[in-house]
Structure formats: structure tokens, C-alpha cells
Amino acid sequence: MIEENLIQVKKSIPNNVHLIAVSKTKPISLIREAYNTGHLDFGENKVQELVNKQAELPKDIRWHMIGHLQSNKVKYIAPFIHMIHGVESFKLLKEINKQGKKHNRVIKCLLQFHIAQETTKFGLSYQDAIAILENELYPELQNISICGVMGMATFSNDEALVLKEFDSLKEIFTKLVAHSSITNDFKIISMGMSNDYELAIQKGSNMVRIGSKIFGARIN
């Protein structure tokens, strides 16, 4: 069943759009099923769950941390994490850098922006991002790489609203590309989930994070 779902989802997205299979709350056995089809990118949103799954599963899986990350927990994922999608403070970025250095790695990060109307969704404003990039200590962060932006739209059937929010993230991305602290690694626009990824792709997403459409509905 997982294989069929993956095939269906992959058919529905263009080749240049990268798929992250969001496996949060789902058992190891289902992740293994997806892995056995050749899929390597998986997303989790809780540190403990991510660490447990990483230990059990093949080491060529690329793990994406897509949830809210507290600075004091970076150390648990720093040895292996492929990409951290939810960077929303300089403090967190500094800690990721410190842990990256310990493990002699450069950790890929995305800046998370607040584009939704809901106040519960985390993220930076454009001005907050500029403040991070222009922090006097930013040039010292040699063990992180800012690879793009991430955002979540309002959970809504109002297509016009969702399109507008995705558009705002695309616009932020385009403005940031020109910033002097931004490098050639800055390429990713991570937006779109099971219910809205087609709209996100219309607005320029090149990385979608899809869970329930692959693994089935979550009970939570």
C-alpha cells in the first residue's frame, strides 16, 4: 500500500520537486516499506522519535527535522541529521553550528517563515531573517549552510488564501537570494503538505513534505 501511495504522489509532482515522506507517528515497519521502494528522504518532527528511528533504520536514509526544535536538543540529532527545516532564531542557528563543528559536519538548514494567519505556527518575518543574516557573528558560522526557506500555509479550504501565503514565501525567497550573506546553496523552497502541495508547486515550491497521503491518516 505504501509503495502504491508513493508512486501516486510521485506521479503528481514534477521532477524538479523533491519529496520528503513525513513519517512522524508512523512505525518503523512502514518506513522500511517506503525505503525498500528506493525512497531515501524522510521527515520527522520530534527529536526523541527521530533519534529512535534513525538508530533502527538503514544509515543511508536522509532525515529531515521538520518540527519545532529546541536549542538544547540539537545535540541529539547533530551527528546524522540531513537537513533542519525549522530554523527561526539566531540562537538556534548558533547551537546547530556548535554541534555541527563537534561532529565535523556542515549542517543544512532552512529558515522557517511565518506565512499563515494562524498565530500557532512558528516562524520568522522577513525582517527577522535579515537580522539573522546581518548578525555580526553570522560570518563565523562555518558549520551551517542556509539552503533555503520553509513555511506552512493556513490549514484551510480557501485556495486564494493558501495561494497568497505560498506566494509570500516565494517572494521572501526571491528577495533573500540577493542578500550578500546568502550563498549558492540557497535553492530550496520547502512548502506544501498532503492537502495543499499542488497549490504550493504552482507557487514555486521545489520541496514538498507529505505525510498522510503516503502513510495514511494520523491518529492525533
Ligand X SMILES: *Cc1c(COP(=O)(O)O)cnc(C)c1O
User: What residues line the site for ligand X (CB under 6 A)?
Assistant: 22, 24, 45, 66-67, 152, 193-195, 209-213
Q: In whole angstroms, how close is the CB of 45 to ligand X at the nearest point?
A: 5
155 pairs with which residues across the strands? none
CB atoms within 10 A of CB 123: 21
Q: In whole angstroms, how close is the CB of 86 to ligand X at the nearest point?
A: 7
Q: Which is nearer to ligand X, 51 or 131 (CB)?
A: 51
3-state secondary structure of 91: helix
Q: Which is nearer to ligand X, 181 or 212 (CB)?
A: 212
- Find the residue with minimal CB distance to ligand X: 211
Q: In whole angstroms, how close is the CB of 139 to ligand X at the nearest point?
A: 29
Q: Which is nearer to ligand X, 89 or 195 (CB)?
A: 195
DSSP 124: B
Residue 111, Cα to own-chain centre: how many angstroms? 9
DSSP 139: G
Burial class, 184, CB count within 10 angstroms (exposed 0-12 / middle 13-18 / buried 19+): exposed
Q: Which is nearer to ligand X, 66 or 129 (CB)?
A: 66
Q: Which is nearer to ligand X, 35 or 42 (CB)?
A: 42
Q: In whole angstroms, how close is the CB of 152 to ligand X at the nearest point?
A: 6
What is the H or E stretch that residue 49 is in?
Answer: helix 47-56
Q: Are 51 and 76 in contact (CB under 8 A)?
A: yes
Q: In whole angstroms, how close is the CB of 197 to ligand X at the nearest point?
A: 8
